[in-house]
């Protein structure tokens, strides 16, 4: 029983180390998650708003046909589309 002299102090030190590692680990995981979320959001914004966020121009998304450029044009009347 003579060795119970520092039980509370040793337990306190061990508990403090455990809490420190536990909290530091959680901050590490949260920090990595927020960093990845930020990078993904930035990438999505560059694709969604290319002229605002410095991404590729919208003209690159239109297609590569040398004869026709721009957007598709309807070839049928709206009422005729549903009859076929």
pLDDT in tens, 9-45: 788 888 888 888 888 888 889 999 999 999 998 888 8
Q: CA torsion sign, 39 to 43 to 48 to 52?
A: positive
What pLDDT is attached to residue 4? 59
Higher pLDDT pick, 14 / 7: 14
52, 53, 58, 59 alpha-carbon torsion, rounded to 10°: 100
For the question of whether the overall pTM of this predicted structure is more than 0.85, the answer is no
What pLDDT is attached to residue 32? 92
Mean pLDDT of the chain: 75
- C-alpha to C-alpha distance for 14 and 12, rounded to whole angstroms: 5
Is residue 51 over pLDDT 90?
A: no
The helix/strand/coil state of 49 is coil
């Amino acid at each position: 029983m003579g060795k119970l002299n520092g039980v509370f102090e040793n337990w306190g030190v061990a508990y403090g180390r455990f809490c420190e590692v536990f909290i530091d680990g959680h901050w590490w995981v949260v920090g990595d998650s927020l960093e990845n979320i930020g990078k993904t959001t930035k990438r999505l914004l560059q694709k969604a708003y290319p002229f605002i966020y410095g991404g590729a121009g919208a003209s690159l998304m239109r297609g590569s046909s040398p004869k026709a450029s721009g957007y598709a044009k309807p070839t049928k009347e709206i009422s005729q589309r549903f009859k076929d």
